[in-house]
Structure 1
Amino acid sequence: MITIVEEKDAKFITHAGSFHADDVMATVLLEILYEDIPLARVAEIDEKDTDAFVYDIGLGKYDHHQDDKARRDNGIAYSSVGLIWRDYGMQILEKLGIQEYVEDYYYDIDDQIIMPIDALDNGEGERISMTISSVISISNPFWNSPISGDEAFLKSVDFMRMVFNVYIEYLKDVYNNNELDWDDGYDWLDQVMKKIVLDKANEANCFIFNEEGDAIDMWKEYGEEIITYYNKSSKHAELGVYDVNKMFVQPLSFEREETDEVTAYPVEQLAILMEHYHKNGEALLKEIFDTCIHSEVSRIQGMDYVEAQIDLSEHHIMILEQFVPWKGTLLKSESNKVNDIYLTVFPSQRGGWNFQGVPLSPASFDTRIKVPEEWCGRRDQELVELTGVEGARFIHPGGFIGGAENFESIMELAQRIVEYTEQNKTH
C-alpha cells in the first residue's frame, strides 16, 4: 500500500512535480517488494541526509540524472525503474510466486515494459502516441485540474500496477503455450473504438444521424460537437478535434508501422489484454479517451486565459494568477501587446512565485530579458543583498527564470529586471 507522507515520515522518497512513467512504475515495483510504501514526493533531497530509499532524484544509486548515468550493454541508459528492475527484478518475480522460466520473465518484462520506459525518459528511442508512457504523461494534473499532483500520481500508480500485473498474466499463458489470439483482439478493438466515440457523442447530446464507418469517421462527424460540449464554447473546437484524433483515435484505429526504434508498450495491446483477462478493456479505453478530451479542453481554456492576460499585461510584464502553459500561446498570439511583454510571473508549483523570460523562439533558452550577470546563479540571502529585494529566492545561472517568496517580491524583482533590460537594449 502506498501512502503519501511528509518527508520526515517517509521511508521512500521520489521527486515532486510532474511525474513520468519511470518513477510511477518504479513505485509499483517497490510496492511489490516492500508492500508498505510511506512515500514523500519532494523538490530536492540529498541522499546523505536520509535513510529512506531514494529514487529518480538526488543523483544517487537509483537516480539517472547524472552525467555518468549507468547504461545497459546495448547502450540504452537506465532510468530509475530500470535500475530498480536490474537490482531487484528477480526478487520481485519470486515475490509474485513465479518459479519456472524466471529468467525468461525477467528479460521479457525488461524488453517490453521496462527498457522502453528507460529509453524514453532519457530522451532515447521513439515517442509515439498512445503508449503506457504517453498515458502517464497526460495523466499529470491539467493547469485547472480539480485533483492534486499527489492524487494524480497515485492514480497513475494504479494504472501502471494494472499494466505490470496483466502482462505477468499474459506471460504465464505464453509459457504454458496458451497464446492469445491477437487477430480476434484487434477485431474487438475496431468495434469498441467506434462504440466509445459514439457513446461520447451521446453523452455530449449530439444528434446521431450517421453511424456508418469506423471510429475515425465517427470522430470526424461528432468530434467538434463533443469538444464544444465539454469546453462550453465552440472556440478552437476544430483544433481540439485534430489533437484528440492525433493522440487517441488515429493511433488506435490503424495497425502501427514496424520500427527498429525502442518504443513504449502500446495501449491497444494493453486494452486487448485487459479485455481478454478481466473484461474491462473497454472501460480502460473510455477512461483514457476521457483524459485525452479533458486535457485538450484544458489546453484550449489555457490558451484563452493566456490571451486574456496578454491583453491585461502592463509595463512589459504578464501576470498569471495560476500557472498555465503559456509560451506557445504567447509566441503565436496576434495581440498588439504581445511584443511588449518581456517576462511572465506565475505561482510556483513548489511554493512562492516565479518569473520567466519570454523565449525568442519555442525551442530557445535565449529570452527578451537581460539580467545583471552578478545576479545569475545566486540564491537566498546573497540574492537578497545583490538585488535589494526581500524574499528573493533564486535566479537560474542562465538568467531566464527566478523565484521569490511571494507576489510582492516577485513583482519587485521583475520590475528591476525590466528596468535593467530597458537600460541595456541594443538598438
Structure 2
Amino acid sequence: MSDVQVAKKQKQSKLIGTHNGTFHCDEALAVFLLRLTSTYRNADLKRTRDPAVLDTCDIVVDVGAVYDESKQRFDHHQRGFEEVFGHGFVTKLSSAGLVYKHFGREIIANHTQQSLDDPKVETLWLKLYKEFIEGIDGIDNGVQQYPADISPRYRVRTDISSRVGWLNPAWNQPCDGATVDTLFAKASKMTGEEFLERLDYYANAWLPARDLVVAGLDKRLTADPSGRIVLFESFCPWKEHLFELEATQGIAEEEQPFYIVYPDEMGGNWRIQAVPVSPESFASRKALPEAWRGVRDDTLSELSGIPGCIFVHASGFIGGNRTREGALAMAKKSLDI
C-alpha cells in the first residue's frame, strides 16, 4: 500500500502533516499545540515531504512552502514570508509561532477553562508568546538576540530548541524513518509539556499576582493621598506587573508610585521597597532616606522616629518594619525627605 493510500485510509480522523527527517523545536511544538485544539485533538501525524501525501492532510506545518490559514497550511520557509506575531513583536514567525498565533487563544481558553473572550485569555496569550514562543521563532529563523558585532561571553546550549536538536540521531548513527519518528514524538511531548507547565504557572501564579497589583494601584489613594505608595496585604511578585500596568493605564510620571509596602514572604514582618526606575535597574525612583541607610533596629527607630524598624539597605532600595503601620509610616515619611 502506498503512502498516499495509507494517508487516505487514516482520514477517518484528522491528519496533521509535517516534514520527515531531522526535526526542530518549532514543528515539534506546533504538532503538540494543534493536538490541544478541539479540531485536531485526536489527530494522527504524517511526517513526509511528498506533496501528494501532504495534500491528504487536514493541516500542514513547517513544510510545503505555503502560508494560508484558509487552507490550513502553515509553512514559513518560502521566499517573501515575513509574518510576525504583531502586538509590538517583530520576530519572524516559525511554524510554532504561526500555529500559536492562530490557535493560541483557543488552546489557552481550553486549558484554563475560561471563555475565549475573557480578557485573561488575551493576557496569557501575549505573555506566553513573549516568554516561551518568541525565542523558538527567533532561533529557528536565525534571528540574532543582539547586534552581530557583539560576541557573547559564553554559549548556552540548554534552551528548549537545543534540547530538541540533541534528540535527533547523530550524523554517524544508523537509523531509519520509524526511529526518527519515535524521537520526534519524544521531542513534541517534551516541548508541549514545558509549554503547559509554563501556561499553568502564568495562569495560576503570575496572573493572580497581576490582579493583586491592579487592586493595589486602584486603592493607592487610600494608602496615601499622594498616590505614591501602593499597599499589598499579601506578598506577590509585583515589579513586572507594575510597569506594564502603569503603561496600559496611562499613569503619568508625576503620579507613579515611589514605594511598595507588603508583608514579607516569611510572614510576620513588613517591607517597604522603592520602585526602580525600570524593571532591570538598581536605581530607584526615590530611594529611602540616605540617613537611614545601613542603620538597624532600635537605632533606626530612634533616628526615624518610627517604632519597630528593622533595617534599611545600604543602597536605600528596601527596608523593614515589624508592623504594617510602621512600614507605612516609613514610606510616608520618606516621601517628604
Q: TM-score, normalised by structure 2?
A: 0.56
C-alpha distance after superposition, 1:167-209 (max 9, x if no partner): xxxxxxxxxxxxxxxx93426x45432221112334999xx99
Report the 3-state secondary structure (helix = DSSP H, G, I; strand = E; otherwise coil) of the residue aligned with 1:398.
coil
2:236 corresponds to 1:328: no
Supply the distance in 1 between the matched residues of 2:39 and 2:326 (Cα, whole angstroms). Answer: 47
Supply the distance in 1 between the matched residues of 2:30 and 2:156 (Cα, whole angstroms). Answer: 24
Structure 1 equivalent of residue 324 of structure 2: 407
Structure 2 equivalent of residue 286 of structure 1: 192
Does structure 2 conserve the Cα–Cα contact (< 8 Å) formed by 1:303 and 1:329? no
Equivalent residues in 2 for 1:72-221 (5 A)? 184-186=21-23, 189-202=25-38, 211-213=72-74, 214-221=95-102
Report the 3-state secondary structure (helix = DSSP H, G, I; strand = E; otherwise coil) of the residue aligned with 1:354.
strand
Deviation of 1:341 after TM superposition, in Å, equals 3.3
Supply the distance in 2 between the matched residues of 1:366 and 1:269 (Cα, whole angstroms). Answer: 35
Report the 3-state secondary structure (helix = DSSP H, G, I; strand = E; otherwise coil) of the residue aligned with 1:355.
strand
Residues 398, 204 of structure 1: CA spacing in aligned structure 2 closer, same or farther, 3 A cutoff?
farther
AA aligned opposite 1:212: R
C-alpha distance after superposition, 1:117-142 (max 9, x if no partner): xxxxxxxxxxxxxxxxxxxxxxxxxx
Does structure 1 conserve the Cα–Cα contact (< 8 Å) formed by 2:32 and 2:189? no
Residues 370, 228 of structure 1: CA spacing in aligned structure 2 closer, same or farther, 3 A cutoff?
same
Does structure 2 conserve the Cα–Cα contact (< 8 Å) formed by 1:318 and 1:341? yes
Supply the distance in 2 between the matched residues of 1:409 and 1:203 (Cα, whole angstroms). Answer: 57
Supply the distance in 2 between the matched residues of 1:311 and 1:353 (Cα, whole angstroms). Answer: 21
AA aligned opposite 1:285: T
Unaligned runs of 5+ in 2: 1-19, 42-58, 60-69, 75-94, 170-178
AA aligned opposite 2:21: D
AA aligned opposite 2:23: Y
Deviation of 1:284 after TM superposition, in Å, equals 2.1
Deviation of 1:246 after TM superposition, in Å, equals 4.1
Structure 2 equivalent of residue 227 of structure 1: 108
- 1:318 pairs with one of 222, 226, 230: 230
Report the 3-state secondary structure (helix = DSSP H, G, I; strand = E; otherwise coil) of the residue aligned with 1:184.
coil
Does structure 2 conserve the Cα–Cα contact (< 8 Å) formed by 1:204 and 1:225? no
Structure 1 equivalent of residue 6 of structure 2: none
C-alpha distance after superposition, 1:244-288 (max 9, x if no partner): 234433443525458752331132231344576995433321221
Does structure 1 conserve the Cα–Cα contact (< 8 Å) formed by 2:260 and 2:272? yes
Residues 203, 240 of structure 1: CA spacing in aligned structure 2 closer, same or farther, 3 A cutoff?
farther
Deviation of 1:377 after TM superposition, in Å, equals 1.2
Residues 323, 203 of structure 1: CA spacing in aligned structure 2 closer, same or farther, 3 A cutoff?
farther
Supply the distance in 2 between the matched residues of 1:368 and 1:282 (Cα, whole angstroms). Answer: 45
Supply the distance in 2 between the matched residues of 1:231 and 1:379 (Cα, whole angstroms). Answer: 49
Residues 403, 204 of structure 1: CA spacing in aligned structure 2 closer, same or farther, 3 A cutoff?
farther
Supply the distance in 1 between the matched residues of 2:287 and 2:125 (Cα, whole angstroms). Answer: 40
Supply the distance in 2 between the matched residues of 1:211 and 1:390 (Cα, whole angstroms). Answer: 67
Report the 3-state secondary structure (helix = DSSP H, G, I; strand = E; otherwise coil) of the residue aligned with 2:238.
coil
The aligned length equals: 235
User: What is the root-mean-square deviation of aligned Cα atoms in Å?
Assistant: 3.8
Structure 2 equivalent of residue 309 of structure 1: 216
Please state which structure has a larger fraction of its residues in strand: 2
Residues 370, 267 of structure 1: CA spacing in aligned structure 2 closer, same or farther, 3 A cutoff?
closer
Supply the distance in 2 between the matched residues of 1:360 and 1:235 (Cα, whole angstroms). Answer: 28
AA aligned opposite 1:289: F
Structure 1 equivalent of residue 48 of structure 2: none
2:150 corresponds to 1:269: no
Supply the distance in 1 between the matched residues of 2:96 and 2:255 (Cα, whole angstroms). Answer: 42
2:266 corresponds to 1:342: no
Report the 3-state secondary structure (helix = DSSP H, G, I; strand = E; otherwise coil) of the residue aligned with 1:377.
coil
Supply the distance in 1 between the matched residues of 2:252 and 2:218 (Cα, whole angstroms). Answer: 8
Residues 335, 215 of structure 1: CA spacing in aligned structure 2 closer, same or farther, 3 A cutoff?
same
Deviation of 1:210 after TM superposition, in Å, equals 7.1
Deviation of 1:319 after TM superposition, in Å, equals 1.1
C-alpha distance after superposition, 1:341-386 (max 9, x if no partner): 3311123235532111233444554545464432111122322332
Supply the distance in 2 between the matched residues of 1:257 and 1:334 (Cα, whole angstroms). Answer: 32
Supply the distance in 2 between the matched residues of 1:347 and 1:204 (Cα, whole angstroms). Answer: 46
Please state which structure has a larger fraction of its residues in helix: 1
AA aligned opposite 2:37: A
Structure 1 equivalent of residue 315 of structure 2: 398
Supply the distance in 2 between the matched residues of 1:356 and 1:193 (Cα, whole angstroms). Answer: 40
Report the 3-state secondary structure (helix = DSSP H, G, I; strand = E; otherwise coil) of the residue aligned with 2:119.
coil
Does structure 2 conserve the Cα–Cα contact (< 8 Å) formed by 1:383 and 1:392? yes
Residues 270, 371 of structure 1: CA spacing in aligned structure 2 closer, same or farther, 3 A cutoff?
closer
Unaligned runs of 5+ in 1: 1-182
Does structure 2 conserve the Cα–Cα contact (< 8 Å) formed by 1:377 and 1:395? yes
